[in-house]
Amino acid sequence: MTGAPRILPELALSRSALDRSGWLRGDAGLVPRLLDDEGTQVVVSRGDLLQARADGSALVLHRPVEVRVTAEDLVVYLGADEGGGQYLGVARDPMPDASGPGDPARDGAADEPSRWLGLRSLGLTLDPLDVALASTLAGISNWHRAHRFCSRCGLPTAVNSSGWVRRCPEGHESYPVTSPAVIMAVVDRQDRLLLARNASWPEGRLSVLAGFVEPGESLEVAVAREVKEEVGLEVEAVEYAGNQPWPFPASLMLAFTARARDGQLRFADDEIAEARWYSRDELRADIRAGAVLSGGTPISVAYHLVERWLGEPIAALQDGPPVPW
């Protein structure tokens, strides 16, 4: 895919102004030094939520003394900005009620009112530095929660390499893993778009097809396999369209377009409850009527694949507050 054109605009979570400075992670004294440096800036998360300004425009950044790190906290070196400023992430367990303002007794008093918000809410409003900090902390903290025990010997693991490695007493190490997933806008020879509903989704929730890449597959092969498995179609003209990290909990979404060789839908298993071909006029009408809802939002790859095919902003077709797409 080197040099391959991309048809999607820059996706919200693909933006970054963060230098990860990975070569520094092996310094055992890095995190303690940064915690003692009043110039360090700290991002705080609780479970899947991050502390941000109440309007969601920026993360709340703390000095280390304001955060009061304890032995129960996960501290991760996130990287540096273009001016050399250093950033740590502090991940904590969720609060019993994490929907209100930040806890000033524990997390420092912010200059402005703050709230605990998810990355899905924040991704469209944060600048490239904040979105990279938030995505990195969200993904790495999810990985830590799932790898507290060694997959080889079952013993508890400890944090190493500034938060980027876990090691058990036997010396086995595990590293953060991102799972590639393909997501594809499939059209037929009449340029109709295929939308489908997963069996676990409510009525009316439709989206493009997606699935994880299996061992030994190229991305294009994964696209063809997933489409055939889910709706029984053979596809051709598979073309790359863009990508973005999706740390919910640990995916990289790789977008493609593809054309079906025929339009006969066949469901091989119970994963897909329904699927249909949409012309642009049909989809516009269903969006206006509120009959088509998707699990995606403007932060998602699915939203932009559908919007790009449609040729106009989805929000312009909706009455009142935007319906999640």
Residues in contact with 35: Cβ distance below 8 Å, sequence separation at least 6, in sequence order: 64, 69, 75, 88
Q: Which one, of 105, 130, 31, 38, lies nearest residue 73 by Cα?
A: 31
Residues in contact with 290: Cβ distance below 8 Å, sequence separation at least 6, in sequence order: 318, 319, 323
Residue numbers in the chain where pLDDT is lower than 70: 1-5, 97-112, 294-296, 320-325
Q: Would you state the pLDDT for residue 99?
A: 47
Residues in contact with 306: Cβ distance below 8 Å, sequence separation at least 6, in sequence order: 185, 193, 195, 207, 208, 283, 294, 296, 314, 325
Q: Would you state the pLDDT for residue 105?
A: 36
**Is cis: bond before 249, omega within 30 of 0?**
yes
Assign domain 179-314 to its CATH superfamily: Nucleoside Triphosphate Pyrophosphohydrolase (3.90.79.10)
Q: What is the C-alpha separation between 226 and 214, in angstroms, rounded?
A: 10
For 86, the 3-state DSSP assignment is strand
Q: What is the C-alpha separation between 278 and 282, in angstroms, rounded?
A: 6
Q: What is the C-alpha separation between 88 and 91, in angstroms, rounded?
A: 10
Q: Would you state the pLDDT for residue 308?
A: 95
Q: Would you state the pLDDT for residue 101?
A: 43
CA end-to-end distance (rounded Å), the chain: 28
Question: Going by DSSP bridges, is the β-strand pair 86-92/41-46 parallel, antiparallel, or unpaired?
Answer: parallel
Residues in contact with 161: Cβ distance below 8 Å, sequence separation at least 6, in sequence order: 25, 26
Token pair in block for residue 145: 């929660």
Q: Would you state the pLDDT for residue 293?
A: 72
For CATH 3.90.79.10, the residue range(s) in the chain are 179-314
Q: Give, to the nearest 10 degrees, the angle between helix 301-310 and helix 280-289.
A: 120
pTM greater than 0.85 = yes
CB 133 within 8 A of CB 15: no
Which amino acid, 286?
A: D
Q: What is the DSSP string of 36-79?
A: H-TT-EEEEEETTEEEEETTSSSB-EE-HHHH---TTSEEEEEE
Q: Would you state the pLDDT for residue 281?
A: 96
CB 313 within 8 A of CB 304: no
